[in-house]
Structure 1
Amino acid sequence: MAISESAYIQEKFSALQTQQADAVLNEIRLKAFENFQVNGIPSYKNEEWRYTPVSQLFKKPFELSENTVSIEQQFLQQTRLPNSNEANELIFVNGVYDASLSNIRSKELVVLPLEKALSDSTYAELVKAHLGKSSLYIKDGVHALNTSFINGGVFVYVPKNAQIDLPFYVYHLCNTQKNPVLAQPRSLVYISESASLKIVEHYATIGNTDSFINEVMEVVVAENAQFEYYKLQADVANANQVNTTHIRQIGKSFVHTVVATLTGGMLRNNTNIIMEKAGNEAHMYGLYLLNGSTHADNHTLVDNREPNCFSNELYKGILDGSSTGVFSGKIYVRPQAQKTNAYQSNKNILLSDNASVNTKPQLEIFADDVKCSHGCTVGRLDEEALFYLRSRGIDAAQAKAMLLLAFANDVIDKINIESLREHIEDIIVNRLAVQTS
């Protein structure tokens, strides 16, 4: 039965509320489900979804994933990122945390099912205080649907002063061999005072039917902590995603994010950074290298709520075939956020007459002592640079690939995990070699 049918969603929600006895989760889910019933799935009339017709996905016969299903070991091995044996690995299968497949190698790192964390006296109050805060900023029905069906989620805790040197790989695996699946992974990450963590999210689908991942990750960064976040989207053409990464800097801290979108179906990334303490610093980078009919929508938000914060944002797009790119970036500067420095830039190259991009950088400033700027560009390859390379004996295809790789390197170079950076570079070099030949 299609997920667009309200009776089906109501039935699944009622069953989940009956099965799960935790009062905190039941209350959070109930409020979210009421929001979902009021707002529904956004259409093109919703300004935030104007260029991404997510309502079309909800007409497909997806099934809400409830329990962990099996995944072939061979597929898991093929999906693993380079140097996975030297990383912490957390695995979701059809949106449900699978502890048996996960491997937490850093002893300081605490990883618990959300339900267990809420019943643990050590972490219960922390989870209650921070779970669901993203709903204060994202009020649409897609986000509410994820919160309505929190089940099989995970809580990640980094203790005070803990420096987690090994990267933390989060794999989202979808098994659609039997039927189309709507997976809704949920996670809460808390990085304590003077601690550090690097998270990498990766997505893979096995099966010929469609997958739809509707994910929410909430991250809390405490005083003097450091957080690096990387997202790699290189899934099959029948894989669709709506991902929300909501980062709150509750103490003076440092955040660094890179989102690389290479392949997939319809993809939407919400990346929010909420600066809740004076002196916060954040860097946001994104690259979307699109071909075929892939649709990638990057929505970013930086909310400067306190003074003396700094943010720098650069998103770049290379679009070929009949692909579509969307960039919508918002920077808020609250009245009390004096001395804010905030910069935002979106640059795009169109390689095909059928490719398109919609870009909308935005500033909303309510303070008078700030330095803020934004801008966007959409164009073709530099013909003069191409001519220069050709005049030096480089053939047209190689010259074109060299220029595109140079354009992308501004973002790729911001990936501080060497094995991941080299892996993404290899994918991009191979893609460009094929596209420009």
Structure 2
Amino acid sequence: MSAIDTWVARQRERAAHLPGAALPWLTPRRADAIARFADLGWPTSRLEAWRHTSLAFLEQQALAAPESAAPAATLATLRAAFDDGGHWLVFVDGQFAPTLSAIGTLPAGVTAGALSDALNTAPDAVEAAFGSADDNASPYALNLALCSDGAFVRLARGTALEQPLHLVFIGATGAADSHLRNLIVADANSEASVVEHHVGGGATLGTVVTRVQAAQDARITHVKLQQQDAQAIHVAQIEAEQARGSHFASHSLSFGARLARNDIRTRFNGEGCETLFNGLYHVDGRRHVDHHTLIEHARPLGTSREYYRGLVDGNARGVFAGRIIVAQDAQRTDAVQRCDNLLLSRLAEADARPELEIYADDVKCAHGATVGQIDEDALFYLRARGIDEVHARQLLTYAFAAEVIERIAHDALRKHARTALLARLPGGATLEELL
């Protein structure tokens, strides 16, 4: 039996026990998804979109459930870092953990809970937002076929969630693979900030799909903090659909896992949409991180800003491939795309490929990328003012990354992101005292 056949057999074994197994619309979607995965197999370097991040090694690798810290202790550490009065939905090894969650009192018109529960209580609403495997890469087809849980968030028209909603996914010792699916449905003029945490060890392979539907004039901020242990393989997709006048901000901070792949995309389905893609990744050792982004300006008067920065150390590799498509009807589009990488060792490697694909003639678009080392002139400037070389390098490294973190508007989220970055940088404790 091939490795692909093993996954197909695994889906058949689990199918009857997955949430929503009795729903007539979900069973065929799962069947189509596993068929698509079986047809495509794991992405290899022969595919342009996966040229730098082949998953072919999963054909030979046997997955095993690793050891990890106790979920309660992991959650306590995380919650201690926040003082924002937020709402907390916690999942352990791909399953909702109600005893660890603290949802609190939600405003009228706001629903936040486990996807597994929503499939029973609001199947029609879930069906409209669930998505399909069409045109998605094979790992995300596998996610649809095997997803065991996730979050379902619904914001009624005109509602606002003033405090952040935290979606916490903790890896423990329950399974070798984990597949999560989050659905965020924001009706017209609604607003919320959602923080997606991935911490601990847990599954060797984890796939995550987060789908956002932003109706007219809705405002959704999504912050993702990926801080998994060194053995994890994290493959994730964030996909948004934006109606007229909506605003979607995506902040992706990747600080963990031995291999992390993040596909982030949005489509402007109405005039006057705005989006911000903001990302920071730090990789060291032999770790690998890949961000692939797509912004589709399908309607006029859209504005997009995309900024990614990478800190690459050791023998690690950081990859960024961003694509902005401006359709023929998307006149008066304003788009900026940029990726900058700082190499912290001689063996570190960074690949940056920004792309613009423009079919309209009344647009303002720009893109660029840099890969380099610490500026020697800036280093000399700091040393001339009495700062030793080690601390000068630490300050310049932090300053390079801090610009991304400062774009996070929420104070508590920005503070935690800064702390998470400093925990990864050499000399971070000293830097924290100075800042």
With the length of structure 2 as denominator, give the TM-score of the two structures: 0.91
Change (3 A) 1:259 1:70: closer
Number of the residue aligned with 2:387:
394
Structure 1: which amino acid aligns with 2:100? L
Structure 1: which amino acid aligns with 2:32? K
Would you say the 8 A contact 2:296–2:326 is kept in 1? yes
Q: Within 2, Cα distance between the matches of 1:21 and 1:84? A: 41
With the length of structure 1 as denominator, give the TM-score of the two structures: 0.90
Number of the residue aligned with 1:190:
185
Secondary structure of residue in 2 paired with 1:184 = strand
Q: Within 2, Cα distance between the matches of 1:403 and 1:153? A: 39
Structure 1: which amino acid aligns with 2:7? I
Would you say the 8 A contact 1:298–1:327 is kept in 2? yes
**Could you list the runs of 5+ residues in structure 2 that have no partner in the other structure?**
431-435
Number of the residue aligned with 2:127:
128
Would you say the 8 A contact 1:205–1:211 is kept in 2? no
Would you say the 8 A contact 1:397–1:433 is kept in 2? no
Would you say the 8 A contact 1:94–1:181 is kept in 2? no
Shift, 1:5, TM fit: 2.4
Would you say the 8 A contact 1:400–1:436 is kept in 2? no
Shift, 1:435, TM fit: 8.1
Q: Within 1, Cα distance between the matches of 2:333 and 2:39? A: 37
Q: Within 2, Cα distance between the matches of 1:248 and 1:92? A: 25
Would you say the 8 A contact 1:401–1:436 is kept in 2? no
Change (3 A) 1:293 1:70: closer
Structure 2: which amino acid aligns with 1:145? L
Change (3 A) 1:430 1:104: closer
Number of the residue aligned with 2:7:
9
Number of the residue aligned with 1:236:
229
Would you say the 8 A contact 1:156–1:188 is kept in 2? yes
Residue-by-residue CA offset, 1:341-389 (whole Å, 9 max, x unaligned): 1110001111111100111111111111111111111111111111011
1:53-68 to 2 correspondences below 5 Å: 53-62=54-63
**Could you list the runs of 5+ residues in structure 1 that have no partner in the other structure?**
none
Number of the residue aligned with 1:22:
23
Structure 2: which amino acid aligns with 1:188? L
Residue-by-residue CA offset, 1:144-176 (whole Å, 9 max, x unaligned): 100111332332111211110111111111123
Shift, 1:399, TM fit: 1.0
Are 1:218 and 2:215 an aligned pair? no
Moved more, 274-283 or 71-80: 71-80
Change (3 A) 1:386 1:350: same
Would you say the 8 A contact 1:303–1:333 is kept in 2? yes
Are 1:165 and 2:136 an aligned pair? no
Give the fraction of aligned pairs with identical amino acids, expressed as a percent.
31
Q: Within 2, Cα distance between the matches of 1:16 and 1:271? A: 28
Shift, 1:213, TM fit: 1.4
Number of the residue aligned with 1:199:
194
Residue-by-residue CA offset, 1:201-232 (whole Å, 9 max, x unaligned): 1112246xx62210001011111111111111
Q: Within 2, Cα distance between the matches of 1:211 and 1:86? A: 32
Structure 1: which amino acid aligns with 2:148? N
Number of the residue aligned with 1:153:
150
Would you say the 8 A contact 2:308–2:340 is kept in 1? yes
Shift, 1:332, TM fit: 0.8
Number of the residue aligned with 2:311:
318
Are 1:105 and 2:94 an aligned pair? no
Are 1:276 and 2:269 an aligned pair? yes
Structure 2: which amino acid aligns with 1:165? E
Q: Within 2, Cα distance between the matches of 1:266 and 1:299? A: 14
Shift, 1:116, TM fit: 4.2
Q: 2:136 aligns with which of 135, 139, 145?
A: 139
Q: Within 1, Cα distance between the matches of 2:321 and 2:63? A: 28
Shift, 1:305, TM fit: 0.9
Shift, 1:118, TM fit: 4.2
Shift, 1:84, TM fit: 6.0
Change (3 A) 1:112 1:87: closer
Structure 2: which amino acid aligns with 1:192? D
Secondary structure of residue in 1 paired with 2:25 = helix
Q: Within 1, Cα distance between the matches of 2:190 and 2:218? A: 5
Structure 1: which amino acid aligns with 2:171? C
Q: 1:175 aligns with which of 172, 187, 208?
A: 172
Shift, 1:198, TM fit: 0.5
Shift, 1:285, TM fit: 0.7
Secondary structure of residue in 1 paired with 2:43 = coil
Change (3 A) 1:429 1:436: closer
Change (3 A) 1:58 1:170: farther
Number of the residue aligned with 2:87:
88
Change (3 A) 1:98 1:183: same
Would you say the 8 A contact 2:324–2:356 is kept in 1? yes
Secondary structure of residue in 1 paired with 2:16 = helix
Would you say the 8 A contact 2:253–2:281 is kept in 1? yes
Change (3 A) 1:225 1:418: same
Structure 2: which amino acid aligns with 1:202? H
